[in-house]
Amino acid sequence: MGIYCSCQAFGSMLSGALAVAIMNTLDGKNGIAGWRWLFIINCIMTICVGLCGFFILPDVPNNPNPRAFWFKKHYARLAMERLDRYGKVAPKKITFDSVKRTTRSWVPYFIIIVYVAGCLASYGIWYFAVFLKALKNPDGSRLWSTSQVNAIPIGGSAVTAASG
């Protein structure tokens, strides 16, 4: 869970840095505004990562992804042997009794509280950029440029990544 939350913060850091770089270098190129370039580049990156996930993620050992070309059958066998060795069983169907047992345990509620607290902590960083954008000079002009609004919150994301 910590790695997942840290990766979210790293993603925010890289997104802010990418936005700054795009706004400083591509704004107005080929008649396209910088924010549109940002959407185009993010779209291309998202499609590439999604396709990689479709062909790379192996799924679970007892039901491997047939499109994961690198995940050979002997890897799945090895993983199943390890699961057997350590007393882990294959996933079971969800039953009413398992749902009842889960809802009576304190663990899921604790996980929810910790996750929500982490999300709320990171939301402050996202709204910080909106706050920076809203600040004005006495003459009404913007206090921070678009590049600065995207660059300044990177420090907050770094703190989140380090503490996540």
Report pLDDT digits (tens) over 38-89. 999 999 999 999 999 888 988 888 888 889 888 888 998 998 899 888 888 7
- Cα–Cα distance for residue pair 25/76, rounded to 1 Å: 47
Q: Which residues contact 10 (CB under 8 A, 6 or more apart)?
A: 157, 161
Question: pTM of the predicted model, to two decimals?
Answer: 0.60
Contact 102, 108 (CB under 8 A): yes
Q: What angle do CA 28, 32, 34 make, to 5 degrees?
A: 65
Domain boundaries, the chain: 2-60+93-163
- Cα–Cα distance for residue pair 126/154, rounded to 1 Å: 10
Torsion of CA 79, 81, 82, 87, to 10 degrees: 130
Structure tokens at 100: 């009842």
Report pLDDT digits (tens) over 79-131. 889 988 888 877 788 999 999 999 999 999 999 998 888 778 767 777 888 88
